[in-house]
Amino acid sequence: METIIVTGGAGFIGSAVVRHLVAKTDYEVVNVDKLTYAGNPESLNGVDNNPKYHFEQVDICDAVELRRVFDQYRPDKVMHLAAESHVDRSIDGPAAFIQTNIFGTYTLLEAARGYWEKLHSNERDNFRFHHISTDEVYGDLEEKGERFTEGTPYAPSSPYSASKASSDHLVRAWFRTYGLPTIVTNCSNNYGPYQFPEKLIPLVILNALDGKPLPIYGKGDQVRDWLYVDDHARALIKVVTEGAVGETYNIGGDAERKNLEVVKLICGILEELAPNKPSHVERYEDLITFVKDRPGHDKRYAIDATKIRSELGWTPSENFETGIRRTVRWYLENQAWCRRVLDGSYRRETVEKQASNTGP
């Protein structure tokens, strides 16, 4: 049985990957997560007691602990998802993004290289370091028909995307210079169950249910290519197991929508599935509120996923209409999870558990 290390496995995309690996593959899974505010162990309920699953609360910037994890579990593959990922937070405080996304990736690469260089030849050939990145490293698009390809030049706009672009370059340099067998993927905007409520889609769903304003930057005419998170998880596992070393694969849902269109679609689904609104709300759409645009806001993203479709045979199973309906329904049916995130109780319990494990 092979072993995969997943960094950031308690986050939104990482937990989807972990759930898929544990439920649908034979891999042993080691979740390496620092458990920052975006890491929620409750997103792994149902797999956390599986004998194939192991959790290590480790910061990817901690070289000593990373070496211990590699030596203890002897992984065949690494899927690197741990990252600071919220653009607004990167504008307000870029230091954490530089530390985690750049220095953390460097530290993980060095731990992986030190481990890989000591492997026997057949184990070295089988090893993979899969770095999961974002389409935001490409900047934005002007022409309506234009899409990001694997050869699109980098032009990041925010501290977040600049830090991810830096980490992408590090991964490719470790392949070119040291021969570490790396693969890079760049994905479009993810949505689906267990997403932290600071992101657009869960924020709109939960605010609407509470009768709060639905904030939209500018005119809401920014275009994003949306990808259902479980489709992304399948793609990532396809890449780490079948992708070619040294290659990059763009992963997109072929679902471009303006932000305002997304919000109005969610409101329409809520009218159907949650018609009992707060007393002051006549229509969910009435809660839409336009706010000042963020600095350097990219206008449009769109992914050309031809390569992963043609070379690896991956296609998304959800279109945006089916995926967003499933997402809205999940949030309606999992209000307890949502409230524990919103009131911070999930975080307090995590901190308390950390303290009890540390001892006096």
The residues annotated as belonging to the active site are 135-136, 160
Pairing mode of beta strands 214-217, 3-7: unpaired
**Is residue 314 classed exposed, middle or buried when 0-12, 13-18 and 19+ CB atoms within 10 A define those classes?**
buried
CA distances from 151 to 135, 154, 160, 166 (A): 12, 9, 21, 16
C-beta separation of 57 from 35 below 8 A = yes
CA distances from 12 to 149, 262, 273 (A): 25, 20, 24
The 10 Å Cβ neighbour count of residue 9 is 31
The 10 Å Cβ neighbour count of residue 91 is 15
Tokens (6 digits) for 281 = 């709300």
Which residues face 261 on adjacent strands? none
Task: Name the nearest CA neighbour of 33 among 7, 63, 15, 52.
Answer: 7
C-beta separation of 183 from 79 below 8 A = no
